[in-house]
A and B are shown apart, each in its own frame.
Chain A
Amino acid sequence: MKPMRCGLIGAMAVAACVLSSGRHSAWAAEPPAKVALTGARVIPVVGPELDGATILIERGKITAVGTDVKVPFDAMEVDCRGKVIMPGLIEPQSWRGLDIANESLPVAPFLDVGDAMDPSRLYFEDALRDGITSIHVMQGNNTVIAGMSRVVRPIGLTPDEMTVDLGTAIKLSVSPRNGYDRMQQMATFRETFRELEEYTDSIAEAKYEESLEKEKKKVDVGPAEAAKRGRPMLKDSDYDDKHLNLLRLKRGDFDTWVYVGSPMDVSPAIALATEQGFLDHTILLIGDDTFKAIGELKKAGRPVVLPEDLFYRERDPISGEITETFIPKKIHDAGLMFALQPNPNSSMAERYLTYQAALCVRNGIPRQTALEAITLNPATMLGMGDRLGSIEAGKVANLVIYNGDPLDFNSWVENVYIDGILAYDRKDDPRLAEILRLEDVGRKVDEAKKAAEEAAKKKDEEKAAPKEGDAAPKPAEGDNAKPAEGGSEKPAESGRARPRRGDGQ
């Protein structure tokens, strides 16, 4: 059993795959039957951290975790000594896989993000490189009622190939969209849900009349009574797309993620959710100063997705003094479950989820809570807490292998397994090499050396035996190109030249 290998998803990688070998079908292929990751420190997120533990993966699922797990004879063993393995990170929500964040329609619950997803976005490649194995692709906050979201993995060539969960949630924004103020935003909500009732009444009335017609009876009651009698007869198929999803939203068929960008939005959001009956299916996305409504957030007791910038700074209008608040602390102290988001706009380390978690630890949040906020909590919020977010037997084998502690800023992602498939290998990351200019420089030096050596050889052996193939690497280096042993190799050393994949093919 050899694990199928593929480097990066993304335009370049896709093009390379399509042109070279048709490996893109990897994602449709079966995962390797049994893989054992051995000797690593495992952070399962649930339960204590384990040293020198083995994780056994069978057909994409974790079947055993522990220090006393025996490696089956038929499992491919990957030596992970000196490494740290934690569950794949989960980005609780992002629109960056979409071509645009929002449509111009304020109320568009009939949309599906799958139609706007672009698998070739570099964002997915970056996410994979940073150890994110699940992304909740959702429309942006510039909306009133947005379309259906999906949970995807950052690998695959089509939206459907990437999709893990369809119709996960719908986004509502209580903070006004562009061009709207709060009066219009709230009036639009009230109008939408009021109109849903009117629409339901009208189709119920029609349905009732239809039912009478079938029995060749005449309409015997007024419109209000007819609507009342018709309502129980309604099926989902009687609704049009727009109204159906609103109905399902109210019914709690899926979760509603409500953006409350300011503290003043919390109370109307909770009132709306209570009134329309979806409070129990509500996740709150908070803005930078929404924590000021901590009393109301606490009372609502709903999970919270934190803003990208975890610090809030404010100047006192009278004294001119600046105060700084660390938002996760406020939320944690209120006893609320929360998830962290990476900050894509930051050129600094805030764009890594692990850094955001480390920032929490530094500011007084327990390490366990901080780890949960990037794994298990978003999984739970997505209704996938039984499948994702921790390393436990029975869960999907989404794993990230670090070369050190994930919350240590000197650590990096070595490998990422998604559904038991090795989806990312740092050593096989040409773009990272390009960005860091490490491989690049190394390769140039190496090539120059090789050229010099070959020139010398040529001189020496001009008349001698046939020369070695110029693309053939040395056996030791050649190992890297062999898919079979991809999981067991040592971390790449910077500056060390390796042949690029496909060079030998």
Chain B
Amino acid sequence: MNPLRLLPLLLAAVLLCVVSPVTRADGPTFAIRAGRIMPVAPDMDWVIEDGVILIVDGKIAAVGPGSSIDIPMDVPVTHLPDATITPGFVAASSDLVGSHSGDESIGPGYRAVDSFNVYGDFRPVLSGGVTTVHLSPGWHRLVSGQGGVVRLAGPAASRVLRDSSDLTITLGESVFNPPNIVEFLTKPSPDNAIEPARRQRPASRIDQYLALREAIADAVTPRQRGAAYNYQSEILGRLWADKHAVRVQAQKAGDIVGAIGFLASNGRSGYLVGGFEASKVADDLRSSGVPLVYTIDTAFHSPAGDVGSDPGSLVPDVDDLSALEGVRLALAMDNGGSVADLRLAAAMARRSGLSERTVLEAITRIPAELLGVGDRVGSIEPGHDADLLVLTGNPLDTTTHVQRVYVGGRSAFQMPTRHSLVVRGGTIWLGPDNWLTDGSVLIEDGRIVSVGKRVPVPMDAQVVDAGPDAFIAPGLIDGLGHLGLEGDSGALGPDLSLAPLYGVTEVAEQRVAAAGVTTVLAAPYRFHSRGSQITAVKTAGNTREQRVINATAAVAFDVRGNDPQSIEGALKQPLDAGKKYLEKWEKYEKDLAEWEKKKAEGKLEPVAKPEVVEEPEKKPEEDPITGTWSVRASGGPIPEPVDGKVALNLTGNQIEGRLTDPPEATELEHRITGTLNGKKVAGTVEINAPVDLPAPPFWEGEIIETDHIKGTAGLRGMIQVDIDMRRIDKESTQFKVTRTKRRTTGEDGRPLPPTVDDALEPIRSLLTGKIPAVVSAGSAAEIEAVLAVLSDQYKIEHIVFLGADDARLAIDKIKAGKAGVVLPTSVMRTEKRKPYLQGDDLRRNGIAVAFQSNAEDGARSLPTVGLYAVERGMSAEDVLEAMTIGAARMYRIDDRVGSIEPGKDGDLVIYSGHPFDAASRVERVFINGQEVSP
């Protein structure tokens, strides 16, 4: 290529690098489009439906309804239609760093951030939705130290939001009687005497205020000449002079009142933390205007502590919060509680009557403001850090989980997915006359696991809340279609299934799936005289295993237009062959059962040698194969070409032969078989080999010119060699062959199964009642003739009539034969020029019906057919049944599809209303628990 032509490309690449937002170092730039956004910002809507958050360099640039925000072209968008987005939670109290180990009762020099691991992996906490945490220096000293505020993810240097957010003071029993201080003297001397341990205060409740006042007074007074230097006092003096925020930790009513008094008398603003007995002094709190971080005592991980009958004991109860109306409230976990449980603990606070709004604000915006980080976290507002939670539903619902956490726009936690899905909706149609209102369905690994009002919601589940108006039904089943045939109208024999046609969803198939038709009974356009297979297949999926429900779901025959007299003969031919085949199998199974019984009893007799019979080979006529061929094998693992001779005989298109040279090959009992297909030959070499081969060796080739075959042979997936064959003699070799009669028993006398005949296997399944017989019939005479053969003679239990145009005239017979009918594509029929609704007619007579598309991707209109049938007068319930469980039962695939029950496949369709309400549309489709893209 001319390099000049590359130049614009290069330029574009360079430009892209320059302007691409991804290359900016500060933070990621992207947009989130989500089902619901709860910004928790004071001047924004409480909930933004279908909202967008634009994040630039890790900061929120814009937030609002999707319609109001322009997302730049180069910004990647994350679509989260089922998610609720909230700000990351802010825990205004935590014991994440524990208490400091210093002895000083007045220890403002201890900074909690010193103990924070900026490299820590806090995903277990982030998984609870908490992104910002206050670090407390402890509850064990009067002046406990300096608190800090950190976020739990992101680059180490960015994690500390405030290294000193407050001067923490603690009141109450926990600070009484601190340890004595022992000063180490390195060189004691008469001038520098060893003194007894210094006692510390406070000793009692009243003393704590006194000790505090004195410490502050001491700290703010300039040091006297010669007075000992005291580091802690110096820090206290500095913090106090700077009017540092004061945080008072207190639980008991008396201490809370004392704290309010302390703040007021010193003219300090601050906030309270703890407040177990706050409700007792709610009035004082309200009138003082001091905010409270109420710490919730939970028993999620261990039972509540025993308090006994001591009336002075604290019995924290989250129900008491109702008295705190009007107090600026934040919620946090009590010491010892796991910060990760904040969401659930806060949700419990609603018991006391707090609104959802108050509670959510109490773990986001309010604590962020109290901690002095309200301009960065706590709400989704432009300019704030992109600390966001992706939740599966309402943040305060018990079964809601955190799916993903962003901190500074970077993904900080991602719930590992396990392919579980929970679908909720106003109405769920489980099966005929079995409706569930406000229920949900849990699907795991593609199967329905649980159905009910309240199903388990695994932590990692995708939750789809379809809303109260939604109608959820099983995916529809097309009673007969030709999905994937692409117009190929050949009649497939009974040995061929359509299953190999299906793999990854194709566009046409996806169209059918998106219409809510999740299963198709796929059949060839024309049926073979010896029967054709019908395959039950899903309309979407990624692998054949996911797609194919049953490769042989039915055997189909066509008797239309036949003389009713000849129907019997036509049907009998394959059925008789099948019957013989079945009898062989039945004998085998009987023999096997007997053998096993004998074996169990230890009565097995010694096995006689397998009899050997001589079977002369028939002399074949002159043909392109028969004769002696020289064979040269080369390539693969063979170092040098090997020559040999093979004698082949052709009968019809079947090839049979032996190796005649080299001599050692002839000693090995073997038989070459194959088929001639036009110019192509393919087959296997059956060897009575002393070793177990994974499969018989194959050989295949093509007649490239007369008397010359080129091809390959070997073991599939292991060895492959090239073979070159030339006919050297056209005479059929009259070799004397001995052939061991097929063994009927194994070495230990165990009966061996008969040879599998692919063409008769479907008939065997049919005769054993595993699959139905599908018969395309029109006139009443045909129907009756079919029933006479199948039902009366062969006692086939499951018969499905395809079309059965004149079924009305043979209702009694159909009923007697317990047959079902797949209705013709046109639901309306006429009898004596009078139109009638065939489906309804049969249903009323107790005959099972199903609908068919008789089309490939035209099956997408199946719901419309149902809609029309309902409009013509059939009950919507009957149509839905016919299109779901009715069709499934007819084809005996009702163990997998057709209704919403535990154990069945996760094939669901969410409609905006009843599927046969003309106004309702298909909202979403799930097949095997995986959503089909619309």
Q: How far is the CA of A13 from the CA of B861 in the complex (A)?
A: 100
Check if B186 sits within 8 Å of A264, measured CB to CB.
no
Q: Is the CB of A181 within 8 A of B231?
A: no
Q: Which A residues lie within 8 Å of B116 (CB)?
A: 264
| CB <8 Å contact, B101 and A268 | no
Bound Cα distance A179, B103 (Å): 11
Which residues in A have their C-beta under 8 angstroms from that of B234?
Answer: 194
Q: Are A183 and B231 in contact (CB under 8 A)?
A: no
B137 interfacial by beta-carbon distance below 8 Å: yes
* Bound-state Cα–Cα, A182 to B115, Å: 5
A186-208 CB mask vs B (1 if < 8 Å, else 0) is 11001100110011001000000
Assembled-state Cα–Cα distance A242/B100 (Å) = 26
Contact of A105 among B145, B184, B231 (CB under 8 A): B184
Interface pair A187/B118, CB less than 8 Å apart: no
Contact between B184 and A293 (Cβ–Cβ < 8 Å)?
A: no
Q: What separation, in Å, do the CA atoms of A185 and B109 have in the docked complex?
A: 11
Which residues 135-178 of B have a CB within 8 angstroms of A?
A: 137, 145, 156-157
23 contacts between A and B (CB under 8 A): A108-B186, A179-B101, A181-B97, A181-B101, A182-B97, A182-B115, A183-B102, A183-B110, A183-B137, A183-B145, A186-B111, A186-B114, A187-B107, A187-B110, A195-B231, A263-B117, A264-B116, A264-B118, A264-B156, A292-B119, A293-B156, A316-B121, A318-B124
Q: Which residue on chain B has the smallest CB distance to residue A316?
A: B121
Bound: A293/B118 CA distance, A: 10
Question: Closest CB of chain B to A190's CB: distance in Å?
Answer: 7
| In the complex, B66 has a CB within 8 A of chain A | no
Report the minimum CB–CB distance from B774 to chain A (whole Å): 50
Q: In the bound complex, what is the Cα–Cα distance between A191 and B413 (angstroms)?
A: 39
Q: With A191-B109, A264-B116, A317-B121 as given contacts, are A241 and B186 in contact (CB-CB < 8 Å)? A: yes
Q: Which residues of A contact B137 (CB under 8 A)?
A: 183
CB of A160 to closest CB in B, whole Å = 23
Question: Is there a chain B Cβ closer than 8 Å to A184's Cβ?
Answer: yes
CB pair A181–B156 under 8 Å, yes or no, is: no
Cα–Cα, bound, A377→B670 (Å):
75
Q: Is A180 an interface residue (CB 8 A)?
A: yes
Chain B residue nearest to A199 (CB atoms) is B229
- Of A183, A194, A195, the contact of B97 (CB 8 Å cutoff): A183
A424 to chain B, nearest CB (A): 40
Which 5 A-B pairs give the minimum distances between C-beta atoms? A183-B100, A263-B119, A191-B231, A186-B114, A182-B115
Shortest distance in angstroms between B720's beta carbon and chain A's nearest beta carbon?
Answer: 40
Q: A191-B231, A194-B234 are in contact. Are A183 and B156 (CB under 8 A)?
A: no
In the complex, the answer to whether A223 meets B231 with C-beta atoms within 8 Å is: no
C-alpha gap A294/B704 in the complex (Å): 68
Question: Which of B111, B123, B416 interacts with A187 by CB under 8 Å?
Answer: B111
Q: Report the nearest B residue to A178, measured CB to CB.
A: B101
Chain A, residues 394-408, CB within 8 Å of chain B (1/0): the string is 000000000000000
Residue A262 CB within 8 A of the other chain: yes
User: Judging by beta carbons under 8 Å apart, are A267 and B156 in contact?
Assistant: yes
| A110 on the B face (CB < 8 A) | yes
Task: Judge whether B229 and A198 touch: CB under 8 Å.
Answer: yes
Please report the C-alpha to C-alpha distance between residue A319 and residue B417 in the assembled complex, in whole angstroms. 11
Known: A199-B229, A264-B117, A296-B156. 12 other contacts (CB 8 A): A179-B101, A183-B97, A183-B110, A183-B115, A187-B114, A187-B231, A191-B109, A191-B232, A264-B118, A264-B119, A295-B156, A317-B121
Question: CB within 8 A of B101: which of A184, A198, A267?
Answer: A184
Contact, CB under 8 Å: A182 / B114: yes
Question: Given the known A-B contacts A183-B137, A267-B157, A318-B123, are A190 and B186 also in contact in the complex, defined by CB atoms under 8 Å?
Answer: no
- Give a binary string over B220-231; 1 marks a CB under 8 Å from any A CB, 0 the rest: 000001000101
- The interface bits of chain A over 286-297 (1 if a CB of B lies within 8 angstroms of the residue's CB, else 0) are 000100110110
Give per-residue flags for B94-134: 1 if the beta carbon is below 8 A from chain A beta carbons, else 0.
00011111100001011110111111110110010000000
Name B222's closest neighbour in chain A (CB-CB).
A223
B416 in contact with A319 (CB, 8 Å)? yes
Tally A-B pairs: CB < 8 A: 91
Separation in Å of the A31 CB from the closest CB of chain B? 40
Q: Would you call A268 and B186 a contact (CB within 8 A)?
A: no
- Asked whether B229 lies within 8 Å of A195 as measured between CB atoms, the reply is yes
Most buried by A among B123, B145, B156, B225: B156
A318/B145 in contact, CB under 8 A: no
Residues on B with C-beta less than 8 A from A176 are: 101
A181-B101, A191-B231, A195-B231 given as contacts; is B120 within 8 A of A264 (CB)?
yes
Considering the chains assembled together, what is the distance between the CA atoms of A264 and B96 in angstroms? Answer: 15
- Complex contact B115–A181 (CB within 8 A): yes
Place the interface of chain A in its size category: 35 or more
**Chain A proximity of B294: nearest CB distance (Å):** 26
Complex: how many Å from CA A481 to CA B376?
80
Given contacts A183-B115, A264-B116, A264-B120, contact A110 B186 (CB under 8 A): yes
Q: CA A227 – CA B99 in complex, angstroms?
A: 38
- CB atoms of B102 and A187 under 8 A apart: yes
Determine how close the nearest CB of chain B comes to the CB of A297; give it in whole angstroms: 12
Identity of the chain A residue whose Cβ is nearest the Cβ of B413 in the assembled complex: A318
Contacts of B100 in A (CB 8 A): 181, 183-184, 187
Give the docked Cα–Cα distance between A306 and B617 (Å): 83
Chain A positions within 8 Å of B225 at CB level? 223
Q: Could you tell me if A190 and B416 are in contact, using CB atoms closer than 8 angstroms?
A: no
Select which of B124, B157, B187, B231 is within 8 A of A190 by beta carbon.
Answer: B231
Interface contact A194-B119, CB-CB below 8 Å? no
A195 to B137, CA, bound (A): 23
Q: Is the CB of B115 within 8 A of A262?
A: no
Convert B171-205 into 0s and 1s, putting 1 for each residue whose CB lies closer than 8 angstroms to a CB of A. 00000000000001011000000000000000000
A184 near B416 with CB under 8 A, answer no
The minimal Cβ–Cβ distance linking B729 to chain A, given in whole angstroms, is 67
Chain A residues closer than 8 Å to B107, beta-carbon distance: 187
Partner of B109 from A179, A190, A262, A289 at Cβ < 8 Å: A190
Beta-carbon contacts under 8 Å, A312-331 to B: 316-319
Whether B114 contacts A105 by the Cβ 8 Å rule is no
Contact mask A134-166 → B, CB, 8 Å, 1/0?
Answer: 000000000000000000000000000000000
User: How far is it, in angstroms, between the C-alpha of A79 and the C-alpha of B282 when the chains are bound?
Assistant: 94
Q: How far is the CA of A293 from the CA of B115 in the complex (A)?
A: 16
Contact A262 B119, beta carbon cutoff 8 Å: yes
Q: In the complex, which of the residues B99, B118, B124 has the most CB atoms of chain A within 10 Å of its own CB atom?
A: B118
Rounded to whole angstroms, the CA-CA distance of A180 and B115 in the bound complex is 11
Using Cβ atoms and an 8 Å threshold, which residues of chain B touch A191? 109, 231-232
Tell me the complex Cα distance, A318–B413, Å: 10
* A317 B114 Cβ-Cβ under 8 A: no
Q: A205's closest neighbor in chain B, by CB?
A: B225
Determine how close the nearest CB of chain B comes to the CB of A335; give it in whole angstroms: 20
**Residue ID in chain A nearest B116 by CB atoms:** A264
With contact pairs A263-B156, A264-B119 given, residues A184 and B110 touching in the complex (Cβ less than 8 Å): yes
In Å, the complex CA distance between A105 and B186 comes to 9
- Produce 1/0 per residue, A371-406, CB < 8 A to B: 000000000000000000000000000000000000
Q: Which residue of A lies closest to B98 (CB)?
A: A181
- In the complex, A183 Cα to B107 Cα: how many Å? 10
CA A105 to CA B229, docked complex, whole Å: 19
Residues of B within 8 A of A195 (CB): 229, 231
The residues of B that contact A183 with a CB separation of less than 8 Å are 97, 100-102, 110-112, 114-115, 137, 145
Complex: A458 Cα to B76 Cα, angstroms:
102
B123 touches which one: A110, A242, A263, A317 (CB < 8 A)?
A: A317
Tell me how far the C-beta of A419 lies from the nearest C-beta in chain B, rounded to whole angstroms: 36
Tell me the complex Cα distance, A110–B184, Å: 14
Cα distance A108–B234 when bound, in Å? 23
Return the contact of B231 from the options A108, A194, A289 (Cβ within 8 A). A194
- Of the listed residues A105, A183, A242, the one surrounded by the most CB atoms of chain B closer than 10 A to its CB is A183
Chain A nearest CB from B417 CB (Å) reads 12
Q: Which residues of B contact A181 (CB under 8 A)?
A: 97-101, 115
Q: How far is the CB of A225 from chain B (nearest CB, A)?
A: 14
Contact with A185, one of B97, B99, B114, B119 (Cβ below 8 angstroms): B114
The interface bits of chain A over 463-500 (1 if a CB of B lies within 8 angstroms of the residue's CB, else 0) are: 00000000000000000000000000000000000000
